[in-house]
Structure 1
Amino acid sequence: MLTIYVGYKILDHICYSICGDQIVTVDEECDDGNLIIGDGCHFCNYSCQDSCLNCVQGECLKCKEITNNFYQIANSVAQIKSIIY
């Protein structure tokens, strides 16, 4: 008798992971429970938008770096304003 583990199903006596059940199994990188393209996880694999050149675990590093640089600039401006005023 086969044991069925959480996140898996048996089909023709073979155990398969269930993509889309929000349970990450050994053969899935991610499982967000939907099939939305560009949300970081698509068909249980990490994914980014097509324009992303450096996708790491569903995050586009270029976008993340730009956001971080923006916050650094915004913080610098806030510090300058506090010195001036």
Structure 2
Amino acid sequence: MQNNTVVVKCKCGLHARPAASVMKTAKTFQSKIRIEKDGKSGNAKSIIDILSVNVNCMDQVEVSCDGADEAEAMQAICAILESEID
């Protein structure tokens, strides 16, 4: 299992478009991927879960990946969260 803390740089936080990007990317991996903020945690393969975590711009989130391709999954998900997509 890998854990990483990242600062979300999406200008409007994880609203529908960046959340969909996270979800689509997460679904390409076998690993279980979760995003957590302030005690709320969501499955990164579910857009509803991602949106329910209520992540805003410049929030710190904990990303956890567990599985055979966890290193690649972590790199891909963190890259999206740290990018300034809108």
Which structure dedicates a bigger proportion of its chain to strand? 2
Give yes or no for TM over 0.5. Answer: no
Larger Rg: 1
TM-score with structure 1 length normalisation?
0.21
Which structure dedicates a bigger proportion of its chain to helix? 2
Tell me: higher relative CO, structure 1 or 2? Use CA pairs within 8 A at least 6 residues apart: 2
